[in-house]
Structure 1
């Protein structure tokens, strides 16, 4: 990267930054129902080299894509043809509009997050750029939480994607070997030590691009809102996830539509599983943690109906292999990735066996990434 940077921008001082991707360990499709999520940053991410300049231009180059973009600080507009560079432009624009200092920069980006896998490459890039601007122009005085909020605002307002805050939060606030129990509504959070002992986290990419159907996603949200409305006819409640399992049993018959009842049951029980998973990891009880992962996947398959043949195949075939104690889809579903807890000394056999089984059923090969849990976005030494 340094050679490519000098080749494009010339000799001079260069600073380096790194921003991770993320997986959600457990807690899927409940952020918009007042639930908690449990993500962590991973050791796949985005690297960036940067140099301050004396002009008012942002020069953007990626080592992964041929597109090169130069834009003035007073012309930070979304342009479809600018593709990936809209994320850096958006973050800089958002920070500028908030009154933070920005300036000219030469930037080179390179990532190793698989494209379309649902591991938050966009949030990784957003926090990378935000931290560059924070360090180079604002003396590191912007809090990480504020950078996270501005990255989410960029995604929502500049890019036009109506995402929640989990991805940016996990990327920015990640800590090595720690998961984050996050309430997406209040942003209350706490860390849990993730000591996987003789196990490791294997990310399993179905290679079906995570093309979340907007209509199906909206259907799920609408069904949850319908369930909540029906429940409120019997009980005062803020969110579905405000209910305990016992309280849900008392009001479930008030939900008229069967699909809405299933979505609500997933939300309530998944929120419970997140809190249990947090406890199990703090206790070092990996076997029970693995069981909760499986329960989560089954609920997403049977009650929320967001898995599909690829995710179900990779999860259920993984669970048949010796050394795997838990697996589930992660992310929005409808493709993308799943995670598995696998004994370290069984990983090679696990990957080989699952690769063949998946190919025989689906017709193409999956990919695997073994990763540790990473620190959040930061400047790194060259």
Structure 2
């Protein structure tokens, strides 16, 4: 751990811990926990179909202090939200906790207990600079932070980044009730800029690249669109459901198992049986997963112009085929994400690239902005949408970790 990087975060988290739980006992061991947010660089809704993605950890994070409390209760203080706690007597799914904070904590405790650990109580106070509901995977960061805290506080074997990511995904799928893929959690746990292939779901293949967008001439700017996506679980769930309905017509579970030529041969039948949107979303998958490989090749070659051209193609596919920019059936007068994309394009005027970011529907858009234009871009987007909506981010090399102080 680089002390110079994390000292300020540790100091702030420790002060928050004291505020919420009081001064730790003189002999108490303090555990610093860090888990970054993430940006999906390429591969919009491909991970849950066994496809490929590129994702990067970001310089915003969950950062907190955890201390064992000698009880059978975990107490959580999350700055800006009401505190809550769970007891460790029953770690099974609690229906009444669905889509609530306690579900993620209980789910991670259950997963860590399954490694042979003995769950015991602790107090955990953390500050999250990952925007909630903004599409930067604050939930995955929280899950990973819980997991790393429990790994350190409860005696047991070491847990790899991908294993922790799968535990986090399980907690979100089965306890929280959101059918997400593995990309968010893997990016948070791995850190850096990573290419991931999810064809082998139990052990995705990963590669990392040290690439600095700013040095290549473009700033990574994410813009909140003013529409929280936290209550759109059903919209997200419909995407894998419809893609997998197409796969099921071929006797498969995921689109990665379907031959695109076989898909082409049955388009008319699929439209009749499943409707146009399911077919369009399958078209997006086949197109987008190919773009991931091309964009990774461009990054490896340092060809930023080709990367940006392919980024624009990816954004068009999400809008036209995946259709996760606006919510179906919503008030046509309210199209927050499309407006944000349109305003960003007005400033860029053909330079850089914009696309929907992450799950879509709300949350944020992703913009690659010429470095000399970044300040103006952020100022103008904030003036249109709201102060603090646009932010310049950097790829963070560290994934989720815990460190005894």
The TM-score bracket by the shorter chain reads 0.7 to 0.9
User: Whole-Å Cα distance in 2 between the matches of residues 106 and 146 of structure 1?
Assistant: 24
Work out whether residues 178 and 233 of structure 2, in 8 Å CA contact, stay in contact via their aligned partners in 1: no
Work out whether residues 115 and 156 of structure 2, in 8 Å CA contact, stay in contact via their aligned partners in 1: no
User: Whole-Å Cα distance in 2 between the matches of residues 149 and 127 of structure 1?
Assistant: 10
Counterpart of 1:302 in structure 2 is: 320
Counterpart of 2:42 in structure 1 is: 26
Aligned to 1:38, the other structure's residue is in SS state: strand
Work out whether residues 152 and 168 of structure 1, in 8 Å CA contact, stay in contact via their aligned partners in 2: yes
Q: Please say if 1:318 is aligned against 2:344.
A: yes
Counterpart of 2:401 in structure 1 is: 378
Q: What 5-or-longer segments of structure 1 have no aligned partner?
A: none
Equivalent residue runs for 1:284-299 within 5 Å = 284-299=302-317
Counterpart of 2:212 in structure 1 is: 195
Counterpart of 1:5 in structure 2 is: 17
Q: Name which of 156, 171, 182 aligns with 2:173.
A: 156
User: Whole-Å Cα distance in 1 between the matches of residues 288 and 99 of structure 2?
Assistant: 39
Work out whether residues 42 and 371 of structure 1, in 8 Å CA contact, stay in contact via their aligned partners in 2: yes
Work out whether residues 181 and 192 of structure 1, in 8 Å CA contact, stay in contact via their aligned partners in 2: no
Counterpart of 1:251 in structure 2 is: 265
Q: Deviations over 1:131-154 (max 9, x none)?
A: 112123336622222222222222
Counterpart of 2:75 in structure 1 is: 59
Aligned residues: 369
Q: Deviations over 1:36-84 (max 9, x none)?
A: 1221111111111011233333222222223243x43324464549942
Range 197-206 or range 97-106, more displaced: 97-106
User: Whole-Å Cα distance in 1 between the matches of residues 237 and 68 of structure 2?
Assistant: 43
User: Whole-Å Cα distance in 2 between the matches of residues 56 and 253 of structure 1?
Assistant: 56
Range 34-43 or range 309-318, more displaced: 309-318
Equivalent residue runs for 1:1-382 within 5 Å = 1-7=13-19, 8-11=21-24, 12=26, 13-69=29-85, 71-76=86-91, 78=94, 80=97, 83-138=100-155, 141-175=158-192, 178-183=193-198, 185-186=200-201, 187-196=204-213, 197=215, 198-211=217-230, 213-228=232-247, 232=250, 239-241=254-256, 247=261, 251=265, 253=267, 255-257=269-271, 258-308=276-326, 309-322=335-348, 324-356=351-383, 358-359=384-385, 367-374=389-396, 375-379=398-402
Q: What 5-or-longer segments of structure 2 have no aligned partner?
A: 1-12, 327-334
1:343 Cα deviation from its structure 2 partner: 2.4
Work out whether residues 248 and 265 of structure 1, in 8 Å CA contact, stay in contact via their aligned partners in 2: no
User: Whole-Å Cα distance in 2 between the matches of residues 184 and 166 of structure 1?
Assistant: 12
- In structure 2, the CA distance between the partners of 1:278 and 1:243, relative to structure 1 (3 Å rule), is farther
1:97 Cα deviation from its structure 2 partner: 3.6
Aligned to 2:369, the other structure's residue is in SS state: strand
Aligned-pair RMSD on alpha carbons?
2.9
Work out whether residues 16 and 48 of structure 1, in 8 Å CA contact, stay in contact via their aligned partners in 2: yes
**TM-score for the superposition, normalised by structure 2:** 0.81
User: Whole-Å Cα distance in 2 between the matches of residues 60 and 286 of structure 1?
Assistant: 43
